[in-house]
Structure 1
Amino acid sequence: MSDDDDTGDEEATPTVQLGDGRAVEGAPIARVAARLTWPQTKSDILEKFGDTDIRTPDGPESLATILESVEDTYFDRRQTFVAAVRDVVGREPVATE
């Protein structure tokens, strides 16, 4: 088969619109949690991602500021960390521009 063959695959693939294009400031907490290996201490998380802005219902907030309100100093699993952060910031939808 040559590069000149037109198989029509381009026409058969539908285009999917992902969202309406509005920007959301900050990183999802799940993305930050996925970049770490578990278990982690609070100090290690702060060293690696403390300056990262996290999406919250009230707008972006630094992870360091959020973790100041968390009493736990050790997170055995990703789910434990995510739950602790969501207990502080809430579970409401994140505001867009």
Structure 2
Amino acid sequence: MSDDEEADSEPTVPLGDDRAVEGAPIARVAARLTWPQTHSDIVEKVGDTEIRTPDGPETVEAVLESVETTYFDRRQTFVNAVFDVIGREPVATE
């Protein structure tokens, strides 16, 4: 099979049922930053970015209003702080 034929074939793993999910995953937002970061720097850089939450999309700034930490030494510290606020439940689709 040539590369062209592989590109045109259907995926061998189902990729979902095309239901939209509003907002970006928090892991993607966190991956775009270099660490460490302060609370205010994160709000300045990505505060208006909407992230996925179980209750629908919310801005990073709105979520961080409930976080008391002012300094995040690494990405996982930030992601865990956000999950502590928004929860770890599945995200609703449309």
With structure 2 as the length reference, what TM-score do the two structures score?
0.90
For residues 9 and 73 of structure 2, the distance between their equivalents in structure 1, rounded to whole angstroms, comes to 42
Greater Rg by CA: 1
Whether 1:62 and 2:59 are equivalent positions in the alignment is yes
How many residues are aligned here?
90
Shift of 1:18: 1.4
Question: SS at the partner of 1:94?
Answer: coil
Q: Which residue of 2 aligns with 1:44?
A: 41
Give the fraction of aligned pairs with identical amino acids, expressed as a percent. 77
Structure 1 residues 11 and 89: CA distance shift in structure 2, 3 A: closer
For residues 11 and 34 of structure 1, the distance between their equivalents in structure 2, rounded to whole angstroms, comes to 30
Q: Which residue of 1 aligns with 2:32?
A: 35
Stretches of structure 2 that go unaligned for 5 or more consecutive residues are: none
Structure 1 segments, 4+ long, off by >4 Å, are: 11-14
Question: SS at the partner of 1:64?
Answer: helix
Whether 1:90 and 2:74 are equivalent positions in the alignment is no
Larger CA deviation: 30-39 vs 8-17: 8-17
| RMSD of aligned residue pairs (Cα, Å) | 1.6
Whether 1:26 and 2:26 are equivalent positions in the alignment is no
* Equivalent of 1:15 in 10, 17, 25: 10
Structure 1 residues 32 and 11: CA distance shift in structure 2, 3 A: closer
Stretches of structure 1 that go unaligned for 5 or more consecutive residues are: 1-7
